[in-house]
Amino acid sequence: MRCSLALLGCAVACLLALLQNPVGADEPAVPAVNHLVDAALQKVWEAESVRPAELSSDAEFLRRVYLDTTGAPPTRAEAKAFLGDTDPAKREKLIDALVADPRFGRYLADYWTAAIRGRGAGQLNGSDLFAAWFAARVNAGAGFHEIWSEIVTAKGNLADAPAISVFFNDNEPRDLRDVSGHLSKVLTGVQIQCAQCHKHPYENIEVADFNGMTSFFIGAVARVNNDIRPARVTLTESDENVRRIKEALRKRDSLPKDQQALVDLYAQFIKPRTLDGKWAESQDPRRWRGELARWLVGAGNRQTPRYIVNRTFALAFGRGLHEPVDDFNSYTSPSHAELLETLTDWFVAQGWDVRRLYAGLLKSRAWQLSSVVADKKAQPRHFASYPVRHLGPEQFIAAIVALADAEDLAQAVDAAKRKVFEDARKAAAEHAKQKEQGKLPDSERRISYDLETLAKYEKWVEAMPDDWLLRRTAAARYARLASDDEMAESESFTSSIDQALAVMNG
């Protein structure tokens, strides 16, 4: 008994010691994102005598938080449960629950697919596969540094590795110069494409800098075989292009002038160098994309996490701390530079965790302010009220889907989710029948059907919840009715005349 009492005394002493000196007490506490945001904005409001709006009502908050985490308005049951809850912490609890919900991963996938890959239209063009892959990675808890690396280094067949779709456009290989400029813009917010043919007009980016970045992709070989249905889309790595260019360089002086010019053109793309002047360490072009990925998300490159933080802030607040969100340059400055850098530090320290970052932004008082402006002199950069915003394409469609009749929904799901695959299998069966009977038209004799790949595509699409696939399918069609200033598919839903007419006329 004495021994038991002694052990009990030791246990109590240890417990008291832990309470007085908890584990990790010497480590600095990680600041909450909402406190960082609110403190920074409060400082600006006081310095510029700006009066912020009142806190949003529960009903206003509820609609906003569902649209900004699930991409759809709350259901009647969800609204009733929240509005009837008397817990003072119910807002924070709901934010945590929604950001942990798989629907949030799909919401982020919609947003980033539009930016990185484009929405496209149709289940076999890679856009839906990319979105499904992206959502799966987010919902698996992957940090964005991992996702970014996987995009840059993707390889394999489209059916197995949807991330390769960024190297293709409408099932055709993209020029590697386009890939380089595009990925720099959508993964880091630095636009280098203007230096493709001449020195950048207003940035210190030379043609050699652009070529150096493009060189990292020279080992990527994109192929599309349209004689196979569905088209066989693959991305592999090879040193063949570099070997041929180097061989041509050795023979250059003996070649005709026009061929010498061609050799000189291609020779510019075998010298991989990052924008900050770091040359690739490996001589093997098959390793260059891996080196680029490590530089892109490495400790010495703050621009990539800064860009992700800024776009995440813009997703929550309707505008970024830096505008435009995809064009960091020398002549525009962040509206709140210190806050952007502080959030970037936090983001990197927390393993590039966008879920935690986004939840913190939504818990801020600034995000939960009413949309009713309290001070007329407040500017958008003050974030003194929540902006009245257009619904995004997917949000707009989701709101319509929520009101749709169950029978109509079933028909729409069948058309979007199953008919394309059923039609493909019927075409394959008819092709096999005509081939056996010797009745294949000349134009069809080179064609073959890959039912295994078709089944893989179908598996990706079948795994997508019906409502998500519907809103993606319809949103892609509506978004194609608007374009940006570079004649590319618009990321946002601007309610153009064409879009309005399409909505009114079905």
Identify the pLDDT of residue 496.
57
Bigger pLDDT: 469 or 37?
Answer: 37
Bigger pLDDT: 46 or 8?
Answer: 46
- 267 Cβ contact list (under 8 Å, min separation 6): 245, 248, 249
- What is residue 390's DSSP assignment? P
In the predicted structure, residue 10 carries a pLDDT above the cut 60 = no
Phi/psi for 483 (5° steps) reads -140, 160
Cα of first residue to Cα of last residue in the chain, in angstroms, is: 83
In the predicted structure, residue 369 carries a pLDDT above the cut 90 = yes
In the predicted structure, residue 120 carries a pLDDT above the cut 90 = no
Site of tokens 């570099």:
242
Token digits of residue 25: 């007490």
pTM (2 decimals)? 0.89
With vertex at residue 156, the alpha carbon angle to CA 193 and CA 181, rounded to the nearest 5 degrees, is 5
In the predicted structure, residue 77 carries a pLDDT above the cut 80 = yes
Provide mean pLDDT across the span 213-225: 97
In the predicted structure, residue 8 carries a pLDDT above the cut 60 = no
Phi/psi for 113 (5° steps) reads -65, -40
Identify the pLDDT of residue 175.
95
The closest of 32, 28, 29 to 343, measured between CA atoms, is 32
Give the chain's length: 506
Every domain of the chain and the residues it spans: 143-296, 393-504
Distance CA 321, CA 313 (A): 7
**pLDDT grade for 420, boundaries at 50, 70 and 90:** confident
Identify the pLDDT of residue 493.
54
Bigger pLDDT: 425 or 16?
Answer: 425
User: Where is 82: in which H helix or E strand?
Assistant: helix 76-83
Q: CA torsion sign, 415 to 420 to 423 to 429?
A: negative
The closest of 363, 309, 318 to 65, measured between CA atoms, is 363
Provide mean pLDDT across the span 13-41: 63
Token digits of residue 371: 């949309």
Identify the pLDDT of residue 54.
98
**pLDDT grade for 354, boundaries at 50, 70 and 90:** very high
- What is residue 55's DSSP assignment? B
Identify the pLDDT of residue 278.
96
Give the mean pLDDT of the chain.
89
